[in-house]
């Protein structure tokens, strides 16, 4: 009883401490806007976030998306870049997005930092979503569904609407409160987990740990009469501990630090 | 013969006081060590009748028949409460060698039991505190204490694992050895209870008894407690101890291979020879308590205070414990889910 109480008090104390930053995050307002942060670093960066290289958006559409992307970027603390491309030289749309992001030094908190890049590849007729830095973790699982949500608009040629949907979905994904919904999955898991711990407490095996092979041994009368240790053979195995990584449709890679990257390619439209 | 330890000063009854470790008179507080008692002060009466192969004894104090069976060596008269000892049961051919006297008296035992049950996570709070049918008895349980000489030869295939990193590769080297060990050992006083009434597994669970307190047998320690002579002979019980001695021998032999990372015993040839069996009495408290119509029995090592028993489990306490566990797991799991979806704490 006593040990259970103490253990529980410690666990609940730790949980309480861990909950404080979560509550702060759920209630806090977004961090400093992109531009002010970036300007402090004296980086030569462009303010432009919409790059209509395939020329499928009207000027007013570009302007509207530019405004919406910047507002959302400020609200959700990540850089947001929208790209269209129509180039037969784009063999790998995924690599293209990564190079695009890194050569432009995008990133919310730092150059090549946190952000998301959505691209409509008109030549390959696929949408691409690439996440960088912390966005790779916070949005990584949502990339596929975001692209899927925009599929109908892409198929019907409403590219502005497609980007608009992507931005709205990004907003939803990064809403701190939306993560609360995931708790519903935790519920059945913790019921089962608590049940297992309870059963272990209820049916603790009654093993007499106070008696062992030495309890009744007369130490003066013990003797190791003979010992032989014959070496037979050695088997050596090796495995490569690689630092490289994949840049497939999903997955994390990069040279460490915050420059992690992941990408998803949507269905053909 | 039936014996009563009479007080040399006032003629009252002397019982063994576990707390003081002295024989003590309940009337005049005269006390002495067990071996200081002059046996000529004993009240000894034959009081024995044999009818149809059933031997019965009468209380020297009040004349009532004592409740005994073929093994009873000490009991308390159920009419007048006199502590009686039937020394026929401790006669020469089955005279006990050693005894560990009780270290806890009735009050201390009850206190320990209550404390133990209070600490039970699922034990109902009113358990043992409710007024109910209960019986606490201090029993000297007959034991055989066996000495063994063991010999063990063991073959095993063992391995040592070494890992190291060279360049961008991690190497794992597993070296195999054919290992042989031969040990001899002696074990002293491995106990096995010789009473039919006492459950073997509970008596085993009450171990260890510390043999530093072993005294030469003296009937005086029985005064005020119940005792019975062995129901099984040393030969009867040996089958129960041989596997234990062999197991110990194999365990210490295996322990000599501790330097290896893995030990795979391929063969073990173990020999355990019993060299001596000692007849001893070890102290055990038994507490029977009726709770909601069910009898619960607890056993306590009368020397160390170690308790074995299964108290009932309260449904409401189980539920409360589950609730606390569930809340902790759910809370922690939710936090984990939140932080994972945010990609870190900040
Ligand atoms: Zn007296
Ligand atoms: Zn009587």
Q: What is the pLDDT along chain B (346 residues), one digit of tens a residue?
A: 899 999 999 988 999 999 999 999 988 989 999 889 988 888 888 888 888 878 889 998 898 888 888 889 999 998 998 999 998 888 877 789 999 999 999 999 999 999 998 888 898 888 887 777 789 999 999 999 999 999 999 999 999 999 998 888 889 999 999 999 999 999 999 999 999 989 999 999 999 999 999 999 999 999 999 999 999 999 999 999 999 999 999 999 999 998 999 999 999 999 999 999 999 999 999 999 999 889 999 999 999 999 999 899 999 999 999 999 999 999 998 888 877 766 554 4
What span, in angstroms and rounded, lies between the C-alpha atoms of B303 and B107?
15
What span, in angstroms and rounded, lies between the C-alpha atoms of A130 and A143?
8
Smallest Cα–Cα separation from B211: which of B228, B189, B229, B244?
A: B189
Total H helices, total E strands in chain B: 4, 17
Beta-carbon separation of B337 and A189 below 8 A: no
CA of B75 to the centre of ligand 2 (A): 10
Residue-wise burial string across A204-220, b where 16 or more C-beta atoms lie within 10 A, e elsewhere: eeeeeeebebeebbeee
| Ion ligand 2 contact residues with beta carbon within 5 A | B 59, 61-62, 77, 79-80, 82
In this prediction, residue B127 carries a pLDDT of 87
What is residue B117's DSSP assignment? Answer: H
Contact B32, B23 (CB under 8 A): yes
pTM of the predicted model as reported, rounded to 2 decimal places: 0.72
State how far Cα A40 lies from the chain centre. 27
Nearest CA in chain A to B256: A224
What span, in angstroms and rounded, lies between the C-alpha atoms of A8 and B320?
12
Contact B282, B303 (CB under 8 A): yes
Nearest to B335 among A19, A210, A242 (CB): A19
CA of A36 to the centre of ligand 2 (A): 100
Nearest CA in chain A to B175: A234
Beta-carbon separation of A25 and B184 below 8 A: no
Reported for B259-264, long-range contacts at CB under 8 A and 24+ positions apart, including other chains, are B259/B160, B260/B158, B260/B159, B260/B160, B260/B177, B260/B179, B261/B158, B261/B159, B261/B160, B261/B161, B262/B158, B262/B159, B262/B161, B263/B156, B263/B158, B263/B179, B264/B156, B264/B157, B264/B158
- For residue B172, list chain A residues with Cβ-Cβ distance below 8 A: 236-239
SS3 content of chain B, % helix, strand, coil (to 5): 25, 40, 35
* Min distance B261 CA to chain A CA atoms (Å): 14
* ipTM (interface pTM): 0.83
- For residue B342, list chain A residues with Cβ-Cβ distance below 8 A: 25, 137-138, 176, 179
The angle, 0 to 180 degrees and rounded to 10, between the axes of the packed helices B315-342 and A183-202 is 140
Stretch among A36-45, A70-79, A155-164, A245-254 having the lowest mean pLDDT? A245-254
Q: What is the mean pLDDT of residues A37-62?
A: 77
- For residue B320, list chain A residues with Cβ-Cβ distance below 8 A: none
Nearest CA in chain A to B118: A1
Quick check: bond before B208 cis, omega within 30? yes
State how far Cα A133 lies from the chain centre. 9
What is residue A258's DSSP assignment? Answer: T
Smallest Cα–Cα separation from B148: which of B186, B184, B191, B182?
A: B186
């Amino acid at each position: 009883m006593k040990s259970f109480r103490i253990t529980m008090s410690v666990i609940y104390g730790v949980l309480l401490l861990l909950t404080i930053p979560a509550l702060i995050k759920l209630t806090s307002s977004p961090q400093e806007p992109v531009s002010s942060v970036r300007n402090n670093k004296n980086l030569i960066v462009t303010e432009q976030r919409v790059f209509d290289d395939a020329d499928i958006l009207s000027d007013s559409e570009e302007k509207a998306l530019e405004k919406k992307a910047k507002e959302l970027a400020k609200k959700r603390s990540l850089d947001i870049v929208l790209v269209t491309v129509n180039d037969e030289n784009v063999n790998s749309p995924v690599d293209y997005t990564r190079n695009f992001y890194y050569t432009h030094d995008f990133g919310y908190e730092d150059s090549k930092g946190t952000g998301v890049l959505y691209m409509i590849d008109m030549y390959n007729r696929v949408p691409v979503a690439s996440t960088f830095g912390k966005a790779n973790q916070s949005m990584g699982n949502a990339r596929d569904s975001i692209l899927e949500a925009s599929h109908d608009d892409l198929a019907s040629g409403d590219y502005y609407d497609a980007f608009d949907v992507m931005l709205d979905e990004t907003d939803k994904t990064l809403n701190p409160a939306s993560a609360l919904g995931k708790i519903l999955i935790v519920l059945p898991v913790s019921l089962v987990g608590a049940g297992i711990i309870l059963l272990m407490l209820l049916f603790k095996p009654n093993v007499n740990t106070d008696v062992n092979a030495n309890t009744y041994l007369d130490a003066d009368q013990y003797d190791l009469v003979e010992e032989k240790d014959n070496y037979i053979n050695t088997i050596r195995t090796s495995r490569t501990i690689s630092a490289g990584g994949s840049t497939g449709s999903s997955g994390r890679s990069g040279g460490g630090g915050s420059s992690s990257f992941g990408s998803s390619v949507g269905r053909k439209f | 013969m039936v014996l009563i330890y009479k007080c040399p000063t006032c003629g009252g009854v002397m019982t063994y006081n576990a707390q003081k470790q002295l024989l003590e008179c309940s009337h005049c507080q005269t006390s002495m060590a067990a071996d200081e008692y002059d046996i000529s002060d004993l009240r000894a009466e034959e009081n024995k009748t044999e009818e149809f192969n059933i031997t019965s004894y009468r209380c020297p104090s009040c004349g009532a028949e004592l409740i005994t069976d073929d093994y009873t060596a000490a009991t308390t008269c159920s009419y007048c409460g006199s502590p009686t000892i039937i020394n026929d049961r401790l006669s020469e051919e089955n005279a006990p060698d050693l005894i560990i006297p009780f270290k806890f008296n009735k009050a201390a035992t009850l206190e320990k039991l209550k404390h133990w049950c209070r600490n039970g996570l699922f034990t109902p709070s009113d358990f043992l505190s409710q007024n109910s049918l209960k019986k606490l008895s201090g029993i000297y349980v007959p034991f055989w204490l066996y000495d063994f000489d063991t010999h063990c030869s063991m073959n095993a295939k063992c391995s040592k694992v070494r890992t190291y990193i060279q360049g961008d590769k991690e190497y794992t080297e597993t070296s195999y050895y054919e290992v042989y060990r031969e040990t001899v050992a002696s074990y002293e006083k491995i106990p096995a209870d010789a009473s039919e009434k006492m459950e073997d597994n509970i008596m085993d669970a009450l171990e260890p008894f510390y043999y530093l307190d072993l005294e030469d047998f003296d009937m005086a320690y029985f005064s005020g407690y119940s005792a019975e002579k062995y129901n099984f002979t040393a030969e009867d019980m040996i089958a129960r101890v041989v596997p234990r001695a062999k197991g110990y021998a194999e365990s210490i032999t295996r322990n000599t291979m501790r330097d290896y990372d893995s030990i795979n015993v391929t063969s073990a040839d173990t020999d355990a020879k019993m060299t001596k069996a000692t007849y001893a009495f070890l102290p055990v408290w038994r507490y029977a308590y009726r709770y909601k119509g069910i009898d619960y029995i607890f056993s306590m090592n009368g020397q160390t205070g170690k308790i074995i028993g299964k108290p009932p489990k309260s449904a409401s306490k189980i539920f409360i414990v589950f609730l606390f566990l569930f809340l902790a797991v759910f809370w922690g799991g939710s936090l984990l889910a939140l932080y994972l979806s945010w990609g870190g704490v900040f």
